[in-house]
Amino acid sequence: MSQRLLQNQLTELAEKFGTPLYVYHAEKIKEQYEKLTTAFQHTNTVFFYACKALTNINILKYIKSVGANVDCSSINEVKLALHAGFPPERVLYTSNGISFSEIQEAKELGVIINIDSLSNLEKFGQKYGHTYPVGLRLRPNIMAGGNLKISTGHDKSKFGIPVENINEIVSIVERYNICIHDLHIHTGSEIKDVEVFVKGIEVLFDLIPHFKELKFIDLGGGFKVPYQDGDSETNINLLAQKVGELFAAHPEASKLQVWFEPGKFLVSECGYFITQVNVMKETPAAKFVSVDSGFNHLIRPMFYDAYHRIENISNPDGEKKRYSVVGNICETDTFAWDRELSEVREGDYLVFYNAGAYGFEMSSNFNSRYKPAEVLMKDGQAHLIRKRDEFSDLLRNQIEVL
């Protein structure tokens, strides 16, 4: 779609559904999924969508229809995936720090489970022995990812069982005759360097001989997507080539299926977040553009210093000027400092790109503001897939005792 058509479409949607508004293009998700399956067509690979990025039930159903499986980070995500129609064998629950009762619940639901602590592994062995195959979430001690907050595989990270605990792992597995069918790592988010995945594979290859019933190697998610002009994404073709070569060359790994858990790669670029300019404020320090949103709706810029491309779709050909784009909540909620935009006027619509992943999903009702509405564009049709909150939502679940 041309830039002008996109601007017109987003403007129409903002007028029809109001702002702030999240818009997702279904076909872009399919395109991203097909990039992966095409690149990996010669390797035995399966993709589990890391649904923590965006769990709207329609997105889950659409992901299912394009053929991906789903990776979950809580028992409620597991239940949403099942509600969306995924059969349990296509649902993976990669846990972290959860209670054993949640693992039991996941087992009762029949989904695939990755266990991330020695303590839960022991409890699992005591209760289920060899009766239910299970995966191990390991910490590979590799530093990678866009920034420390989204790096999960390094040697100070809470995630996974550290690989140096291999003797303890093996002793628990042998004691209870646990069937370990997959080894998992997830080193972080926004990993551009294919070598990071190669390093992870090498760490796991060293561990393979300890496990006799392995069927899968799960390399997690974290593929980088381009957030800025000129940015590039993880070279998926190169990754597929390296994975193919490494697995084929390894006698014990060549029969294993490779799993990935992409979140951002599938849904980041499909999403647009539309806001409207409430107020312009000129000060000696900056020209502030204050939009009808804040970190209550898109927290990535404030939480991770993440860059989101912003465009003034109401005046795309206007003179370029520099502005600081801020929100309307009672804290410093700067979306972008000193950013070039085409001339902004009160009432204009500003669009944030790459807003599909961890956008709506990390939104809140801070300042008692409503969460945005969500719209899915599919086959040229706009579908409202979540209503904007209304006042009663703010009181829902509160118990008025006074």
The binding site for ligand LLP (CB under 6 A) comprises: 50, 53, 71, 94, 150, 152, 186, 189, 220-223, 261-265, 300, 304, 357-358
Beta strand 271-282 with 21-25 is antiparallel
| Residue with Cβ nearer ligand LLP (290 or 363) | 363
Has 4 been labeled as part of a binding site?
A: no
Name every residue whose Cβ is closer than 8 Å to that of residue 397 and which is 6 or more positions away in sequence.
none
Least CB distance from residue 262 to ligand LLP, whole Å? 5
Q: Active site includes 330?
A: yes
**E strand intervals along 219-298:** 257-260, 271-282, 287-291
- CA separation for the pair 298, 287 (Å, rounded): 21
Minimum distance, C-beta of residue 268 to ligand LLP, in the bound complex (Å): 8
When the beta carbons of 218 and 311 are compared against ligand LLP, the nearer one is: 218
Smallest separation, CB 253 to ligand LLP (Å)? 21
Q: Measured from the CB of residue 228, what is the shortest distance to ligand LLP in angstroms?
A: 14
**CB nearer to ligand LLP: pick between 53 and 115:** 53
Looking at 51, 179, 270, 330, which residue is catalytic?
A: 330
Give me the residue whose beta carbon is nearest to ligand LLP. 263
300 appears as a binding residue in the annotation: yes
Of 305 and 346, nearer to ligand LLP (C-beta) is 305
- Are 343 and 312 contacting, i.e. CB atoms less than 8 angstroms apart? yes
Nearest CA to 360 out of 80, 91, 132, 59 is that of 59
For residues 286 and 23, give the distance between their C-alpha atoms in angstroms, rounded to a whole number.
30
CB contact at 8 A, 291 and 304? no
Annotated ligand binding at 33? The verdict is: no
Task: Give the CA count within 13 Å in the CB-facing half-sphere of 69.
Answer: 21
Please give the positions annotated as active site. Answer: 330
**Which residues are annotated binding-site positions?**
222, 300, 304, 331, 358
**Which residues are annotated binding-site positions for substrate?**
300, 304, 331, 358
